[in-house]
């Protein structure tokens, strides 16, 4: 009988997603003329390697265990993270490939955009159809349709598909309003999330910041009423994270810590857009400080992940 491969949890796709977010910070700064494009390209290449490795090991796992893939997609806690497997390549295609090979980048953006929408639709249907307990709801539920729609909007705009970008922006924002009300109600009125899911609270920062990045991509980087409104809610969610620091600081390291990475990278990217559009006194210094802070933060999580992998403590124990 064939040996069952090591289980790869779906939230492992957060690693490549977080690296793509960090690359986006450097690409944004490079587009403003503050840093070289080389750093962003290197980070995107590293992201591609991590994504490919995660896909390969995940496929090895699900092909070695009958029903594993179906069980993952039906898991009320872990299934939302499956969307990161198709969302991340959109960022790689739009930011890494399209600037060098526009036609290939556009094709890959469209392919993974369609897959993102199809998976988001299937998961939404599953949540409607299947029994779903309110206490199992967590901010990771933003990923398939909110993050998926907003990243798709930014990616489509980057490859010149303006109307498609507007459609995806609408999809992401409407899903944010609907899911956001349900998730916030669960967080307000039900018991605290279990420790392994506490890092997903950082994802509350993502909808307004990713929406800001997507909106800037769609409208050409202009600051207007809607951009300011998004920034207002983003500020509230960033400040709310301060109250959560005591809970975060008590956590031991697990791969779920990667939930912090893309959310805060999006916050930095949105801030870089505002910094570049407004150009306040010292804006170049602010750019370097923001890049240093987010790179150190995500770099520390990456180093801790590499250490856990070397010590064979990264993967969950085999059943």
Angle between helix 102-129 and 148-158 (nearest 10): 160
In this prediction, residue 278 carries a pLDDT of 83
In this prediction, residue 6 carries a pLDDT of 87
In this prediction, residue 317 carries a pLDDT of 67
Token pair for 11: 């939230």
Spell out the residues 6+ positions from residue 123 whose beta carbon is closer than 8 angstroms to its own: 73, 79, 80, 82, 83, 144, 145
Q: Identify the segments of the chain with pLDDT beneath 50.
A: 1, 319
Q: Where are the alpha helices (DSSP H) in 65-95?
A: 68-74, 84-91
In this prediction, residue 55 carries a pLDDT of 97
In this prediction, residue 318 carries a pLDDT of 56
In this prediction, residue 1 carries a pLDDT of 45
* C-beta atoms surrounding 101 within 10 Å: 13
In this prediction, residue 174 carries a pLDDT of 97
> What pLDDT digit, counting tens, does each position of 287-315 carry?
999 999 999 999 999 999 999 999 988 88
**Distance (Å, rounded) from C-alpha 208 to C-alpha 161?**
22
Give which of 223, 91, 220 is closest to 148, Cα–Cα: 91
In this prediction, residue 2 carries a pLDDT of 55
**Distance (Å, rounded) from C-alpha 95 to C-alpha 99?**
7
pTM of the model: 0.95
């Amino acid at each position: 009988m064939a040996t069952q491969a090591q289980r790869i949890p779906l939230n492992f796709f957060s690693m490549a997603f977080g690296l793509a977010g960090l690359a986006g910070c450097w690409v944004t700064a490079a587009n403003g003329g503050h840093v070289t494009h080389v750093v962003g390209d290197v980070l995107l290449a590293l992201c591609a390697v991590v994504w490919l490795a995660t896909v390969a090991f995940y496929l090895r796992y699900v092909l070695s265990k009958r029903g594993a893939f179906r069980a993952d997609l039906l898991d009320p806690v872990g299934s939302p993270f499956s969307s990161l497997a198709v969302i991340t390549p959109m960022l790689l295609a739009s930011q890494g490939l399209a600037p060098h090979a526009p036609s290939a980048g556009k094709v890959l953006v469209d392919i993974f955009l369609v897959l993102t929408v199809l998976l988001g639709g299937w998961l939404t249907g599953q949540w409607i159809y299947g029994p779903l307990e309110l206490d199992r709801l967590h901010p990771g539920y933003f990923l398939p349709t909110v993050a998926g729609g907003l990243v798709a909007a930014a990616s489509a705009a980057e490859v010149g598909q303006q109307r498609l970008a507007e459609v995806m922006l609408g999809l992401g924002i409407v899903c944010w309003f609907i899911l956001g009300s349900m998730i916030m109600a669960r967080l307000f009125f039900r018991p605290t999330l279990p420790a392994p899911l506490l890092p997903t609270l950082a994802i509350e920062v993502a909808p307004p910041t990713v929406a800001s990045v997507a909106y800037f991509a769609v409208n050409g980087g202009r600051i207007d009423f809607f951009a300011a409104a998004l920034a207002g809610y983003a500020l509230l969610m960033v400040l709310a994270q301060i109250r959560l620091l005591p809970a975060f600081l008590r956590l031991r390291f697990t791969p779920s810590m990667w939930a912090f990475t893309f959310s805060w990278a999006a916050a930095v990217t949105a801030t870089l857009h505002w910094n570049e559009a407004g150009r306040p006194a010292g804006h170049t210094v602010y750019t370097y400080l923001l890049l240093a802070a987010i790179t150190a933060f995500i770099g520390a999580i990456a180093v801790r992940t590499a250490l856990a992998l070397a010590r064979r403590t990264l993967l969950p124990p085999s059943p």
